[in-house]
C-alpha cells in the first residue's frame, strides 16, 4: 500500500472509531423535533446521510425528484424504525422547489438542517469533457444556490443555529495543486472576501459556459480534471464562503452555519461504482458537520472530518 493510501485507510479507521463514541447529552442540541432536509436522498450518499441523521434521532425529510422512488427509499428507512418523511423535489424545477417550500413551511414551520446533496457528473475514470457542462453547472451550482436562497427564510431560529451542508468536492478547490483555474488575478479576487461576490462567481461560470459553447474551453485555463464538474463545485465552495460571511451578521438565536465537504471517491452510480469508499463512510463528514456541537464552524471545506484549505 502506498504511503498516501495507508494514511487515508488509517484516517477512515479513526473515523470508524469516532463514530462509535455516542454524543453526550450536552452535545446533543437536536431531538426528533429537529427537521433535516436532504436533497437527492433516494440513493447514494444522500440516502446514507438521511439514514444516519435519522439514526441520530432527528426527523429527516427525504426528497427525491421522482416521487415513487422517493417513497420507496423512505419506506426502507421507516421500516428500520426511523422518523422519515418524504417529498418530491427537483432542484432544477422552480415550481417543484416552491411547492416544497410551501409544504415544509405548512407541515413543520420550516427546517433546521439543509443538506444539499443532489448533483450530477458525466465524467468517468480519467475522462474529461464539458459536453454536459450546462447541466452540470445548472444542477450543482445554480440548483444548490437556489435551494439555499429559498430555504434560508424558512430556517427555524434556535440557540444551536441552523445548518447548511453542501456535498461538494475537493476538485473545486481554488488553490488545488492539480485542479485549479489558471487565471491568477481571478483566483486572487475569488480568494479575498473584499472582492468575492455572487456576481464574480456567476461571471466565472458564465465565462466557462460561453467558452464551452464557442468550443474554446480547452485552452481557457480551467481545471484539468473533470473540468465542468470542478468548475461547478468551485462555484459552490465559493458561494458557501460568501454566504457564511453574510449569515454571520445574523443575531444570536437566528444564526445559520454553512459548510461544504468532499465525500471522497465513492462507490455510487455517479462513479459507476468505481470509487474506493462506501456511501456509508462518504456520508460521515456531512452528518458530523450537520450535528457539530461547535457552532463557530462556518464557510469551510472539509474532508474526512478535517478542514481543507480552499
Taking CB under 6 A as the criterion, the residue among 35, 91, 111, 133 binding ligand NDP is 91
Using alpha carbons only, how large is the chain's radius of gyration in Å? 19
Q: How far is Cα 301 from Cα 292, in angstroms, rounded to an integer?
A: 14
Q: Reduced to 3 states, what is the DSSP secondary structure of residue 254? A: coil
Taking CB under 6 A as the criterion, the residue among 38, 266, 287, 301 binding ligand NDP is 266
> Residue 95 corresponds to which cell in the numbers above?
415550481
Taking CB under 6 A as the criterion, the residue among 268, 283, 287, 291 binding ligand NDP is 268
Q: How far is Cα 98 from Cα 179, in angstroms, rounded to an integer?
A: 35
**Beta carbon of residue 301, minimum distance to ligand NDP (angstroms, whole number):** 12
The mark string for 126-165 relative to ligand NDP (x by CB under 6 A, - otherwise) is -------------x---x----------------------
**Beta carbon of residue 90, minimum distance to ligand NDP (angstroms, whole number):** 4
- Catalytic residue positions? 229
Q: Determine the size of the site formed for ligand NDP (CB under 6 A).
A: 31
Stretch binding ligand NDP (CB under 6 A), from 10-18, 207-215, 267-275, 290-298: 267-275
Residue carrying C-alpha cell 430556517: 155
**Beta carbon of residue 288, minimum distance to ligand NDP (angstroms, whole number):** 15
> Residue 299 corresponds to which cell in the numbers above?
464557510
Nearer to ligand NDP, 161 or 230 (CB): 230
Q: How far is Cα 23 from Cα 48, in angstroms, rounded to an integer?
A: 19
**Beta carbon of residue 137, minimum distance to ligand NDP (angstroms, whole number):** 12
Q: Which of residues 224-263 bind ligand NDP (CB under 6 A)?
A: 262-263
Give Cβ neighbours of residue 291 (< 8 Å, ≥ 6 apart).
23, 29, 30, 53, 56
First and final C-alpha spacing in the chain? 28
Taking CB under 6 A as the criterion, the residue among 34, 39, 227, 237 binding ligand NDP is 39
DSSP assignments along 119-162, one per residue: ------TT----TTHHHHHIIIIIIHHHHHHHHGGGBPP-TT-E
**Beta carbon of residue 41, minimum distance to ligand NDP (angstroms, whole number):** 7
Give Cβ neighbours of residue 212 (< 8 Å, ≥ 6 apart).
130, 133, 134, 228
Where along the sequence are the contacts to ligand NDP (CB under 6 A)? Answer: 39-40, 42-46, 65-66, 89-92, 117-121, 139, 143, 167, 169, 262-263, 265-266, 268-271, 275
Amino acid at each position: 500500500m502506498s504511503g498516501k493510501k495507508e494514511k487515508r485507510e488509517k484516517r477512515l479507521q479513526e473515523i470508524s472509531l469516532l463514530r462509535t463514541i455516542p454524543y453526550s447529552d450536552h452535545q446533543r442540541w437536536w431531538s426528533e423535533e429537529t427537521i433535516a432536509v436532504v436533497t437527492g436522498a433516494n440513493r447514494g450518499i444522500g440516502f446514507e446521510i438521511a439514514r444516519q441523521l435519522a439514526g441520530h434521532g432527528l426527523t429527516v425529510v427525504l426528497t427525491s425528484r421522482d416521487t415513487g422512488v422517493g417513497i420507496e427509499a423512505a419506506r426502507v428507512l421507516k421500516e428500520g424504525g426511523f422518523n422519515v418523511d418524504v417529498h418530491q423535489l427537483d432542484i432544477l424545477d422552480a415550481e417543484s422547489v416552491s411547492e416544497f417550500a410551501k409544504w415544509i413551511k405548512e407541515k413543520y414551520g420550516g427546517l433546521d438542517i439543509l443538506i444539499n446533496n443532489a448533483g450530477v457528473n458525466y465524467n468517468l475514470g480519467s475522462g474529461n469533457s464539458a459536453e454536459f457542462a450546462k447541466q452540470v453547472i445548472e444542477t450543482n451550482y445554480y440548483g444548490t444556490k437556489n435551494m439555499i436562497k429559498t430555504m434560508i427564510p424558512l430556517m427555524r431560529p434556535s440557540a444551536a443555529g441552523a445548518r447548511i451542508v453542501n456535498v461538494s468536492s475537493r476538485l473545486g478547490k481554488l488553490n488545488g495543486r492539480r485542479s485549479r483555474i489558471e487565471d491568477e488575478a481571478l483566483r486572487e479576487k475569488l480568494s479575498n472576501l473584499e472582492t468575492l461576490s455572487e456576481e464574480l462567481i456567476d461571471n466565472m461560470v458564465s465565462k466557462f459556459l460561453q467558452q464551452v459553447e464557442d468550443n474554446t474551453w480547452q485552452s481557457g485555463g480551467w481545471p484539468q480534471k473533470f473540468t465542468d464538474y470542478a468548475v461547478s463545485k468551485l462555484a459552490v465552495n465559493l458561494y458557501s464562503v460568501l454566504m457564511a460571511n453574510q449569515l454571520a451578521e445574523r443575531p444570536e438565536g437566528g444564526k445559520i452555519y454553512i459548510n461544504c465537504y468532499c465525500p471522497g471517491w465513492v462507490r455510487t452510480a455517479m462513479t459507476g461504482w468505481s470509487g474506493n469508499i462506501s456511501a456509508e463512510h462518504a456520508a460521515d463528514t456531512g452528518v458530523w458537520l450537520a450535528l457539530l456541537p461547535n457552532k463557530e464552524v462556518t464557510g469551510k471545506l472539509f474532508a474526512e472530518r478535517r478542514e481543507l484549505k480552499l
